[in-house]
Every structure is written in structure tokens, then in C-alpha cells.
Amino acid sequence: MTISKLSEEYLETCVDLFIEVFTKEPWNDVYESREQVVAFFRSHMDNNYFIGYILAEGDSVIALCLGMKKPWFKGMEYYIDQFCVRPDLQHKGIGTHFLTLIEQEIRRGG
């Protein structure tokens, strides 16, 4: 499994994963269209404080994280807005592993 920053090249795959996860239990979200979700991702990605990550296994994105740098009293912190793991891989420790990798990346970036 490898972590990468979420970039334009992963947008369509991440939108698909997001829809797959959040239209199921326990969220049961309903979106007006796929374009609505694409616009949601783009609005995050256009934010100058945006930092998103993907976790991939081979060519497959298995988890994603949408977040941002957020000013805090002692500098910047990382705020996670959306986080998900592919449904068939949930409850296997992948989310915990992904969070650990994200923390390592954030620390490396200062």
C-alpha cells in the first residue's frame, strides 16, 4: 500500500470511491448528480490550504482523505474533513494504517 497526495489525476477514481462509500450504510447519502460530488472535490482542491491523500494498492485507490491545513495558536494543524476506506476493506485496520501514514507525511512536511 502506498500513500500519495490527492491530485487531479485521481479525481475521478476518488469521486467514485466517495460515492460508493457514502451512499451506503450508515450514511445513506443521496447526491443530485455525480457532477455535484465532482464539484465538492474541486472546491476542496481549489482551497489553498487543501491537502488530500489517497491510499493505493497497486493501481486501485482503496482509501481517501480530504483535509486542510488550519491555523492554530501554535502554528498549523491538519483538519480531516472527509475520510473513507473502500467498503470491502473496512474493519481490517486499513483506515488506522492510512491515518498513521498521513500523520507521518504531515510531520515530514512540517
CATH number for the domain that contains residue 78? 3.40.630.30
* Average pLDDT of span 80-106: 95
Please state the pTM of the whole predicted model: 0.91
Neighbours of 94 (CB within 10 A): 17
Range of the domain at 20: 2-105
Mean pLDDT of the residues in the chain: 94
In a domain, 68, yes or no: yes
In a domain, 99, yes or no: yes
Reply yes or no on whether the pLDDT at 110 is more than 90.
Answer: no
* Average pLDDT of span 53-64: 95
Q: What percent of the chain has pLDDT over 90?
A: 86
Q: Is 7 helix (H, G, I), strand (E, B) or coil?
A: coil
By the 10 Å C-beta count (0-12 exposed, 13-18 middle, 19+ buried), 51 is classed as buried
Q: H-type helices in 67-93, by residue range? A: none
Specify the amino acid at residue 86. R
In a domain, 110, yes or no: no
> Which grid coordinates are listed for 37?
460530488
Reply yes or no on whether the pLDDT at 79 is more than 90.
Answer: yes
pLDDT-based confidence at residue 5 (cuts at 50, 70, 90): very high
Beta strands in the chain (DSSP E): 2-5, 50-57, 60-72, 75-85
What is the number of domains present in the chain? 1
pLDDT of 20-35, one tens digit each? 999 999 999 999 999 9
Contacts of 61 (CB under 8 A, 6+ apart): 10, 13, 14, 17, 54, 55
